[in-house]
Amino acid sequence: MPHLKTLVERYEGRPFSVIGVNAYDSEDDYRDGVKNFKVTWISAFQGVNPVISELFRVEGYPTYLLIDHEGKIVQREHHHDGDSIEQLVKVAEAAGK
């Protein structure tokens, strides 16, 4: 999660958002995590109900989606490092120029 916090800070003020979805933890663990990790981006609790994961066809965690201004998923990545999401943001910036 530290890479997400860095990314949110780096792109503050730009048309960029991070939305986190927590799956499988208890609601108390989720709330404690948001507090302990000082999450500053939108975060949703899914728990064991896979509605959000099914909607976005998430097959593993973490999954990163790049969604364009029309709401279309233009890129999907599934990696455990911060480089993947950083690369998606660079792709989005290049496309917006």
What was the pLDDT predicted at 84? 67
* In contact, 46 and 9? CB cutoff 8 Å: no
Hey, where are the domains in the chain? Answer: 2-96
What was the pLDDT predicted at 79? 66
3-class DSSP assignment, residue 66: strand
Separation in Å, CA 1 to CA 33, 41, 62, 73: 10, 11, 10, 22
3-class DSSP assignment, residue 96: helix
* Closest to 21 in 3D by CA, of 60, 40, 59, 47: 47
Superfamily of domain 2-96: Glutaredoxin (3.40.30.10)
Give the pLDDT means over successive 10-residue stretches in the chain (97 positions): 79 79 88 91 85 85 77 75 69 68
